[in-house]
Structure 1
Amino acid sequence: MAAVTGAPTDLQAHRDSIRLREDRLVYELREILGAKLVAYLGSVKETRAVRQWADGERKPSAEVMQRLRDAYHVAALLHQHETAPVVQAWFMGMNPQLDDVPPARLLREGRLEDAGPAVLATARAFAAAG
């Protein structure tokens, strides 16, 4: 991910989550989280769908794409500070700030207007704690 000199990492992650083309965003998210976790977030059973999204052969629904954009924002922010395996573990693990619900589950099953901001706030706290 290309960073803007002097821009806070959260702001850059936000900008990229909005500006990246759908296929590129899915590709980048898959690079950080892995195909299985992206498939889970996208509510599909096969990683083939994730590959097709990343290759531009198929498009996710608007709701799924918004969930993936939210997930990318969080993943990109965390990946500025942590390795991909740590980011993956953070997404899948129980989180005390989210009532022990894994962030991936909340992003997949929660109301879009609530889940994204809650997971992002938790990610910001995790990144700030180092």
Structure 2
Amino acid sequence: MMTPQAPARPDQRAYEEAIRAEPSVLVTQLRDLLGVRLVAVIANVRETRAVHEWAEGSREIRNPVVLPRLRLAYQVAAMIADAESPAIAQAWMQGLNPLLDDQSPALLLRADDSQETGQRILAAARTFAANG
């Protein structure tokens, strides 16, 4: 007799997708969820053309901090989009969040790549996804 497995955490699928995705696929999915301008803000690039070229695979992401930042942004956005909608995920990333000292998750992520900040953003996203 098989023992039923405990359900995976709600954000497990988003985490696995974020980690496994090739950079061009990741950027394409993130761009589809959040829009090209917000992805450019998170990546801290001045032009949306860079985001489009990353998605097409015609340009590499050269800055070593950008890809992990985009993976975390995708994890958070996908988790919220699954619980709510892509529009809510986009609004959540841009809004001033009381769990993040009234800072925008997107701007906070762009400004601080520390593990602690990533953990705070994930915790705020999990709370929002669970409670709506």
Per the normalisation by structure 2, the TM-score is 0.90
SS in 2 for 1:70: helix
> Whole-Å Cα distance in 2 between the matches of residues 115 and 48 of structure 1?
28
Partner residue in 1 for 2:127: 125
Alignment length, in residue pairs? 125
* Counterpart residue number, 1:3: none
Contact kept? 1:41, 1:105, Cα under 8 Å: yes
1:87 Cα deviation (Å)? 0.9
Per-residue CA deviations over 1:24-72 (Å, capped at 9, x if unaligned) read 0000000000000000001111110000000011122221011000101
Could you tell me how far 1:112 is from its partner in structure 2?
2.8
2 CA distance for matches of 1:94 and 1:42?
A: 19
Q: Distance in 2 between matches of 1:62 and 1:112?
A: 13
Q: Counterpart in 1 of 2:59? A: 58
SS of equivalent residue, structure 1 residue 45:
coil
Please list every run of 5 or more consecutive structure 1 residues that lacks an aligned counterpart in the other structure: 1-5
**Higher gyration radius (CA):** 2
CA RMSD of aligned residues (A): 1.1
Map 1:7-22 onto structure 2 (within 5 A): 7-22=8-23
1:64-83 correspondence to structure 2 within 5 Å: 64-83=66-85
Q: 2: distance between equivalents of 1:110 and 1:65?
A: 14
Alignment of 1:106-117 (within 5 A): 106-117=108-119
Q: CA deviation at 1:7?
A: 4.2
Which ranges of 4 or more aligned residues in structure 1 deviate by more than 6 Å?
none
TM-score normalised according to structure 1 size: 0.91
Q: Percent identity?
A: 46
Which position in structure 1 is the counterpart of 2:4? none
Matched, 1:86 2:88: yes
Q: Following TM superposition, by how much is the alpha carbon of 1:116 offset from its aligned partner in structure 2, in angstroms?
A: 1.3
